[in-house]
Structure 1
Amino acid sequence: MKIYWKPRRNLYVCLEHFPFTKTDLLGWWYPVLIFTPDLSTTGYVVNPQIGAATYNFIHHKAVGISIFVLGMMLATSLCNWQA
């Protein structure tokens, strides 16, 4: 399990870092955004069931990957549209 776990985690870190190489953001934004408090836990203010549902939905890897792919597709189509 450890052999499988480490490369997968390294892939996630690369996927997190990749968008920052394509933007004009300064380098210090990367650790700030990684370590900021998680806003998806605000659902716990309502009740534990809502909090757990929002937290699990936001942290599902498919949601993050889908948002990443959609953003890359939109950025590509917008660049092609303006040219």
Structure 2
Amino acid sequence: MKAQLKLEYAAFLVLGIYGFAQTGYSWWWFAGLFLAPDISMLGYTVNNKAGAFCYNLFHHFGVAVAVYLVGIILSLPYLQMAGAILFSHSAFDRILGYGLKYPDSFQHTHLGKIGKKTE
């Protein structure tokens, strides 16, 4: 099942890259902003609950799709760009095994436990 999920997330990554290509922005924007959603991990400096909320907000496929669609509806290519990058980044994280976070710890994700002390 893990391999099947990784293939699905790889297809999502390709879809996100395609979505970015539709914006007409330079690929430097994609490369430069690809890791930007990880800034949301700063929420963990407050506590685990705030960290999980911030992380999940910036790594949720639904939020990424909504941002992209709002960009299309309002003819705002920079929102399309942001949505495509959020979507691509989230798919890439899922390929690596980083899922949405539960509020008890960063290591507890919807895809299972991550980190060195997982069982």
Q: TM-score, normalised by structure 1?
A: 0.66
Deviation at 1:56, TM superposition (A): 1.4
Aligned to 1:80: none
Within 1, Cα distance between the matches of 2:4 and 2:19?
Answer: 27
Runs (4+) off by over 6 Å? none
- CA separation of 1:50 and 1:12: change in aligned 2, threshold 3 A: same
Kindly report the root-mean-square deviation, in angstroms, between the aligned alpha carbons of the 2 structures: 2.4
Deviation at 1:4, TM superposition (A): 6.1
Structure 1 residue runs without a partner (length 5+):
77-83
Aligned to 2:14: 14
Q: More strand per residue: 1 or 2?
A: 2
Within 2, Cα distance between the matches of 1:72 and 1:37?
Answer: 21
What percent identity do the matched residue pairs reach? 31
Within 2, Cα distance between the matches of 1:28 and 1:64?
Answer: 20
Deviation at 1:19, TM superposition (A): 4.1
Structure with the bigger RCO (C-alpha within 8 Å, sep 6+) is 2
Could you list the per-position Cα deviations for residues 3-55 of structure 1 after superposition, in whole angstroms to 9, with x for gaps in the alignment? 4652x324322332234323443223222221346111111111111101111
Q: Which has the larger radius of gyration?
A: 1
Q: TM-score, normalised by structure 2?
A: 0.50
**Is the aligned partner of 1:34 residue 2:34?**
yes
Q: More helix per residue: 1 or 2?
A: 1
Aligned to 2:54: 54
Within 2, Cα distance between the matches of 1:34 and 1:4?
Answer: 21
Within 2, Cα distance between the matches of 1:37 and 1:65?
Answer: 15
